[in-house]
Structure 1
Amino acid sequence: MLYEGVLRKMQTELGNPIQYFLVFENDFINFNQALNKKLQLKFIKFQCLSCGNDRPIYRQGFCKSCFYETPAAGDWIMKPELSTAHLDKEDRDLAYEKRVQLQPHIVYLANSSNVKVGVTRKAQVPTRWIDQGAHEAIEIVEVPNRYLAGITEVALKDHVADKTNWRKMLTNSVEDVNLVEWREKLKSHIPEEAQEYYINSNTETNLEFPVLQYPEKVQSLNLDKTPTFEGVLKGIKGQYLIFEDNTVFNVRGSEGYYVGIDIN
């Protein structure tokens, strides 16, 4: 069956295993149902997620001009500690920034390839953990805005990693750890402004991904270099499709690419 549309990050539903959906304008694919089937992926054109024009994608699904103009790509997205909406200060669009920044945020620990600290909006739990391919995660603090979450993450980065080794995550070269112990060990390093928001009564969340076969050594598919690819789908983890020949495709990393997908 042939599907066509612009790539956005896959939507997910928590389950055992997690369910993955690629949503297009007029259709969607449940990739769990495509496991063990042959997929052909073909790049057709670009479609910026902001302006919709056929312009080369620069970052995060946006063409270069939109990346530097849209509030959805402000520096505070990647660096929450730069958030200023709580001070009533605008970066690019104060109304948008207030809507996103001035809501409950979670600082968490996740184990994808190693234990790491991260930040997400409370409404994005556990979606954020799924997107990172974490097989276990736990909340540390719940704060009322993005700025407090950002300064907490910065403080904790001196004591725990803040990046995921995506190759280890995809080969499943991970170990279970006690995240409750990690959370308690990091408590004293939480900034004074966020200490009152510390969570000390929760347990780990465990996540199961739909993977039939992990790659031994990953080979990343780049649509700019390889505009057409065909392979048997063997798993989905994080925002990656995993194929039988060890090829992996980062769907989120290819947002803004308009593609055709044929499933047999």
Structure 2
Amino acid sequence: MQFKGVLRKMKTELTTQVQYFMDFEGDFVHVNQLLDKELSITFTGYQCLNCEQDKKIYRQGFCYDCFYETPRAGDWIMKPELSKAHLGEEDRDLEYEKKSQLQPHIVYLANSSNVKVGVTRKSQIPTRWIDQGAHEAIEIVEVPNRYLAGIAEVALKPHVADKTNWRTMLKNEIEDVDLKETRENLKQYLPDEVQEYYLASNKETEIEFPVLEYPKKLKSLNLDKNPDFQGKLKGIKGQYLIFEDNTVFNVRSNEGYKVNLEILGSN
């Protein structure tokens, strides 16, 4: 069985165990059902997620030109504290920026390789945590716009990590942490204009990923260097596919790549 299409980050659903789905040209693949099966991934070209042209992907699924033009890749996305829609100031497209920035946002703690602080739209909870491979997470504040979330994150960064060690996350070298206690310890560092939005009663969310076998050593699949890959799928965590030979493939990092995905069967 073969599927063809442009890679986009896997869609997820949080049940007892995370359910993963990939969308290919008219076909919806339930990736959990591919565990323990031999898969073939063949790179066939590019398709920018903005202009849809066959142009080499630069970042975030966009070609070079689109990355610097589309409002979907503005600096405020990676640095929420740069958001200005609440002031009526445009970065690339004020209408788009108002729609994205002027909605409830969450500042959270997520534990994937270590406890980190992050920001996401409220509508992206728990998707954001799943994408980061967090096995536990908790909200700190819920604010009405992205700017307030950004300044809260900046204030907390000196006291807690803001990056995930993807290697540690994929090897499952993790420790459980009392996130409620960590949240309480961090409250004192929140900016005054954010203090009123502090969430004191939210409980931790625990997340279980569909992994049969964690890798011991990691080999990252690069489709530009290795356009034909075959391996047995042993797990899915974050946005990574984990294979029996310790190869890991970050689906989200390869957005905009056109591939053929073939299911060869199981041993």
Q: State whether TM-score is above 0.5.
A: yes
CA contact (8 A) 2:235 2:243 kept: yes
Q: Distance in 1 between matches of 2:118 and 2:225?
A: 32
CA positional deviation for 1:24: 2.0
What is the aligned partner in structure 2 of residue 85 from structure 1? 85
CA positional deviation for 1:25: 3.1
CA contact (8 A) 1:81 1:149 kept: yes
The residue matched to 1:162 in structure 2 has which SS?
coil
Between the two proteins, what is the percent identity of the paired residues? 72
What is the aligned partner in structure 2 of residue 46 from structure 1? 46
CA contact (8 A) 1:10 1:252 kept: yes
CA contact (8 A) 2:10 2:22 kept: yes
What is the aligned partner in structure 1 of residue 103 from structure 2? 103
What is the aligned partner in structure 2 of residue 133 from structure 1? 133
RMSD: 0.4
The residue matched to 1:33 in structure 2 has which SS?
helix
What is the aligned partner in structure 1 of residue 211 from structure 2? 211
Q: Distance in 1 between matches of 2:30 and 2:224?
A: 25
The residue matched to 1:90 in structure 2 has which SS?
coil
CA deviations over 1:153-193 (Å, ceiling 9, x no partner): 00000100000000000000000000000000000000001
1:144-183 alignment runs, 5 A limit:
144-183=144-183
What is the aligned partner in structure 2 of residue 2 from structure 1? 2
In structure 1, stretches of 5+ residues that fail to align are: none
The answer as to 2:202 corresponding to 1:199 is no
CA contact (8 A) 1:16 1:209 kept: no
CA deviations over 1:108-155 (Å, ceiling 9, x no partner): 000000000000000000000000000000000000000000000000
The answer as to 2:243 corresponding to 1:234 is no
Q: Distance in 2 between matches of 1:147 and 1:171?
A: 34
CA positional deviation for 1:16: 1.8
CA positional deviation for 1:76: 0.3
TM-score (normalised: structure 2): 0.98
Return the letter of the residue paired with 1:246. Answer: N
The residue matched to 1:28 in structure 2 has which SS?
strand
CA contact (8 A) 2:4 2:25 kept: no
Return the letter of the residue paired with 1:43. Answer: F
What is the aligned partner in structure 2 of residue 34 from structure 1? 34
- Size of the aligned set, in residue pairs, is 264
The residue matched to 1:100 in structure 2 has which SS?
helix
Q: Distance in 1 between matches of 2:218 and 2:15?
A: 26
CA contact (8 A) 1:108 1:141 kept: yes
The answer as to 2:45 corresponding to 1:25 is no
What is the aligned partner in structure 1 of residue 184 from structure 2? 184
Moved over 6 A (4+): none
TM-score (normalised: structure 1): 0.99
CA contact (8 A) 1:106 1:142 kept: yes
Q: Distance in 1 between matches of 2:115 and 2:34?
A: 31
What is the aligned partner in structure 2 of residue 72 from structure 1? 72
In structure 2, stretches of 5+ residues that fail to align are: none
CA deviations over 1:214-242 (Å, ceiling 9, x no partner): 00011100000000000000000000000
CA contact (8 A) 1:138 1:205 kept: yes
Q: Distance in 2 between matches of 1:240 and 1:225?
A: 18
CA contact (8 A) 1:132 1:239 kept: yes
Q: Distance in 2 between matches of 1:217 and 1:177?
A: 25
The residue matched to 1:117 in structure 2 has which SS?
strand
Q: Distance in 1 between matches of 2:83 and 2:67?
A: 18
CA contact (8 A) 1:48 1:63 kept: yes
CA contact (8 A) 1:7 1:254 kept: yes
CA positional deviation for 1:17: 1.1
